[in-house]
Amino acid sequence: MAKRGLVAHPGSEAPPISIGTKLMMLSRDVLRIEYALTGELDRVVIPPSVIGDRADGLWQHTCFEAFIRVPGVGYVEHNYSPSENWAAYRFDGYREGMQPAYPSPYIHVERDDGRLGLTAYVELGALSAWPDAIGLSAVIEEANGTKSYWALKHPPGKPDFHHPDCFALELPAPVRP
């Protein structure tokens, strides 16, 4: 299990919030990713709940993301909306060869005063090889249209969650039965 907080990009005007994350392997092939958004949530645009389905462009609004690197293959980008919509894309290399990826993650969202929790369950067994690193990030949209960009680690320059520096958590090799 790994617990880490996301940090706002230095160039972002971030609202007074914090974003915590937690990763846990539930089985040999299932990774649970938790995001906890706390603080002044009345300033944050939180998409209303819908029946979760695949949708493009989720990153244009409040969205949590996971970038899962597979050595020698590329990486997979997952987008998780508080609406419970999701998207997944496979890349052959840095922003190259983008294609839809499957299977769909299971997403669970909890909301209460001052906290938004989103948990995604990802089947790693569907990948062509075992991943070696993951990058966790978020885009937060405020009611006034301002967006802030959050990640475990940011590369120099503008926000870029695809950048190799953002794959900040190493994943251990799978435990063999």
The pTM score is 0.94
Strands 115-123 and 2-8: unpaired
User: pLDDT tens-digit profile of 18-66?
Assistant: 999 999 988 888 999 999 999 999 999 999 988 889 999 999 999 999 9
User: pLDDT tens-digit profile of 53-110?
Assistant: 999 999 999 999 999 999 999 999 999 999 999 999 999 999 999 999 988 889 999 9
3-state helix, strand, coil in the chain (%, to 5): 5, 50, 45
